[in-house]
Structure 1
Amino acid sequence: MAFRSVFDLGAIRSEFENAGINTNFIPLIWKFVLQNPNCELNEVPSLPSIAYPLLTSKFKISTSTVDSVVESIDNVTTKLLVKLQNGAYVETVIMRYDSRLGILGGKPRPGGPRATLCVSSQVGCKMGCTFCATGSMGFKNNLSSGEIVEQLVHASRLCQIRNVVFMGMGEPLNNYNSVVEAVRIMTGFPFQISPKRVTVSTVGIIHAINKLWGDLPSVNLAVSLHAPIQDLRCQIMPAARAFPLEKLMNSLLEYQKNSKQKIFIEYIMLDGINDEEQNAHQLGKLLEMFQVVVNLIPFNPIGSLSSFKTSNDQRVVNFQKILRGSYNIRTTIRKEMGQDISGACGQLVVTHPKKGLKENSNLLTDIEDLRI
């Protein structure tokens, strides 16, 4: 019999309710498990006696295991290959930043070290984006909420995680219920990550966007737009045919009206495809009614899986200048991290560590080096 993760909230809540056990014990179980990673469920103190056989017969502290941990030569990016109970693998990436670096108004930036975790929501993906390595896997299966949360648990043993982005393997809104439940767990006790530090990314699943704000208020929405017109978008994102750009933008207007929050627009820069000046003006006109932050993403090579090339730096900067100068749209250029370990945007596809890369046998002896 397959066990369920103790972090599968729906499953454990249902079992407790059926057994007449107060569900308020669940967060306390999670707290003990997080503080005692090598414990057994029958060691959790102060539970009703009926809870112990139920927990040990149906749940595990972790249904997944960390198969490998690979550190990038940039010394700030770490990729975890996580093996699921069904034998499949997903990847999750830790990215460390120091927000004090750089100058803001002639003074050092406020803040300090922080870490963001990029989590996967599916094994593979059925969206088929032509610039993304994950799409080459096809769709295998959805992750449960517990399997999503376990990525945070594994990563938290390496460093303290402040932000979570659902930008790993899979289309989060195609696994809507599990993603919503996972976010609720992450933002509740004992994880207590601020909802404002959680971002859910989507290629534009309109019906899910329409209900996301009601289910996850305060969580950030990022939309993978990647082209300012429908025909071009369909060329590089075949799934866009099911989500016409006009309907998507109407949905985003309604979302912003309800949420009162900025929307993050992800735009991958493909040489000669979507990076021309006319594309920048088209994008500016498309977004001028919105409060958005546009994130220009340099294309990351994915080997023979794609023939696309990365836009040169000057073209990316010119694109940014048009959006900023002509349309007053806040526009950033993403600093890519972890390319050497295929941990950057669009590169996540299940691979085992190559020789020459630092792997878990070396890395885990130096965990303190990863703490922020």
Structure 2
Amino acid sequence: MKLKSVFDASEIKSEFESAGINPNFAIPIWKYVIQNPDCVWDEIPSLPSAAYSLLHSKFKTLTSSLHSLFHSSDGTTSKLLIKLQNGAFVEAVVMRYDTRLGMLGGKPRPGGIRSTLCISSQVGCKMGCTFCATGTMGFKSNLTSGEIVEQLVHASRIADIRNIVFMLLPWFDDCDQGMGEPLNNYNAVVEAVRVMLKQPFQLSPKRITISTVGIVHAINKLDNDLPGVSLAVSLHAPVQEIRCQIMPAARAFPLQKLMDALQTFQKNSQQKIFIEYIMLDGVNDQEQHAHLLGELLKTFQVVINLIPFNPIGSTSQFETSSIQSVSSFQKILRETYKIRTTIRKEMGQDISGACGQLVVNQPDIKKTPGTVELRDIEDLHL
């Protein structure tokens, strides 16, 4: 019989309640497992006697294992290759940001290193975005809530995780890897986030960001189910025609319906919305596209994150926008539409840990020349 993850909150709650055990015992179990990942159930102190036999018969401390770990040469990025119980692989990426490198009020900032974990929600993806390698591998399976939480458990052994991002980053490899579309695995993602907000993790909802291509019906539920959690939208084009060209799933979610959903989300949540926009040379990076995007978003409270495209192999149909195009695009959004706009700094390229290049092997990829802004997800809330 396939054993379940002890971090699968609904499963352990159901099993404990059926056995007459207080489900709150899950919290000290989680804490002990995090501190002692190689433990056996009988080592956990002070549980009801019935809990031990139930744990032995139904649950595993960890259903996944850390298969491989890669660190970038500059120490900013670590990539975890995690093997699931069914033999599939997913990746999680830890990005470290030194707050002392920035400025606050014209003065050096206090603080130190803080770590953000980019986390997987699926193996593969159904969305089929043409610039994303995960789209080429198709959908494999949803992760359980326990498998999602276990990525945080593994990552916590190498860094003190402060922020969680469920991101739609492109992946490229010949094995079953990928982050997926979080809102296509809605129930598991919601349950996993709720676990992360509790002891022993106790993350703040404002430090958890969920990204989506724009699953309208799920966006409409998100603030009610996870109040305070941030929303990032992979928009990537200012008009429906271009969105459908590069993101086939956009046909099911017309741009106007998406904008209506975002307007409702923002009205109810009173939060900024993060807009992810990948820069594709000659496709969506011209000045007219910047003006269209500015007009589309000028009534929203948003932060637009421009993402330099990373080629995902020699057969990629897209090319990286020039530094001049990216800078001009940003200038229009900032100066004409007064929209806060950042440019993503790529981290971990030497371990293929950057957006679009998350792979087990290490291809010969050079950094895009030029200077881009260093931005941590947490700073975008300011």
Shared fold per TM-score greater than 0.5? yes
- Which sections of structure 1, spanning at least 5 residues, go unmatched? 357-372
Return the offset for 1:74: 3.1
**Equivalent residue, structure 2, for 1:187:** 197
**Equivalent residue, structure 1, for 2:372:** none
SS at 1:79's partner residue?
strand
Paired residue for 1:326, among 331, 336, 340? 336
Number of equivalenced pairs: 354
Q: Does 1:202 align with 2:220?
A: no
SS at 1:240's partner residue?
helix
Is the contact between residue 352 and residue 361 of structure 2 (CA under 8 Å) also seen in structure 1? no
- Cα displacement string for residues 329-357 of structure 1 (whole angstroms, at most 9, x for unaligned residues): 01011101122322212334xx434599x
**Equivalent residue, structure 2, for 1:127:** 127
Is the contact between residue 99 and residue 109 of structure 2 (CA under 8 Å) also seen in structure 1? yes
Is the contact between residue 136 and residue 305 of structure 1 (CA under 8 Å) also seen in structure 2? no
Map 1:191-270 → 2, pairs under 5 A: 191-270=201-280
**Equivalent residue, structure 1, for 2:23:** 23
TM-score of the two chains, using structure 2 as the length reference: 0.90
**Equivalent residue, structure 1, for 2:322:** 312
**Equivalent residue, structure 2, for 1:75:** 75
Is the contact between residue 300 and residue 339 of structure 1 (CA under 8 Å) also seen in structure 2? no
User: Aligned partners of 1:186 and 1:239: how far apart in 2?
Assistant: 29
Give the residue type in structure 1 aligned to 2:102: G
**Equivalent residue, structure 1, for 2:45:** 45
Query: Which is bigger in relative contact order (C-alpha 8 A, separation at least 6)?
Result: 1
Give the residue type in structure 2 aligned to 1:95: M
**Equivalent residue, structure 1, for 2:368:** none
Give the residue type in structure 2 aligned to 1:231: E
- Cα displacement string for residues 54-113 of structure 1 (whole angstroms, at most 9, x for unaligned residues): 001110010001110011233211111100000000010010000110333321123321
User: Aligned partners of 2:249 and 2:273: how far apart in 1?
Assistant: 21
**Equivalent residue, structure 2, for 1:165:** 165
SS at 2:342's partner residue?
strand
Give the residue type in structure 2 aligned to 1:100: R
Percent identity over the alignment is 72
User: Aligned partners of 1:224 and 1:311: how far apart in 2?
Assistant: 18
**Equivalent residue, structure 1, for 2:100:** 100
> Are residues 21 and 305 of structure 1, via their aligned partners in 2, closer, same or farther at CA, if it must alter by over 3 Å?
farther
User: Aligned partners of 2:315 and 2:241: how far apart in 1?
Assistant: 22
- Cα displacement string for residues 163-201 of structure 1 (whole angstroms, at most 9, x for unaligned residues): 000015100000000000000111111001111100000
Give the residue type in structure 2 aligned to 1:260: Q
- Which sections of structure 2, spanning at least 5 residues, go unmatched? 170-178, 365-382
SS at 1:100's partner residue?
helix
User: Aligned partners of 2:131 and 2:72: how far apart in 1?
Assistant: 22
SS at 1:274's partner residue?
coil
Structure 1 window deviating more from structure 2 (92-101 vs 303-312): it is 303-312
Is the contact between residue 37 and residue 62 of structure 2 (CA under 8 Å) also seen in structure 1? no
- Cα displacement string for residues 7-66 of structure 1 (whole angstroms, at most 9, x for unaligned residues): 000101000011110011111111111122221122211111111010011100100011
User: Aligned partners of 1:196 and 1:305: how far apart in 2?
Assistant: 39
Give the residue type in structure 2 aligned to 1:240: A
**Equivalent residue, structure 2, for 1:137:** 137
User: Aligned partners of 2:360 and 2:300: how far apart in 1?
Assistant: 42
SS at 2:97's partner residue?
strand
> Are residues 104 and 14 of structure 1, via their aligned partners in 2, closer, same or farther at CA, if it must alter by over 3 Å?
same
Is the contact between residue 203 and residue 224 of structure 1 (CA under 8 Å) also seen in structure 2? yes
User: Aligned partners of 1:159 and 1:247: how far apart in 2?
Assistant: 40
**Equivalent residue, structure 2, for 1:366:** none
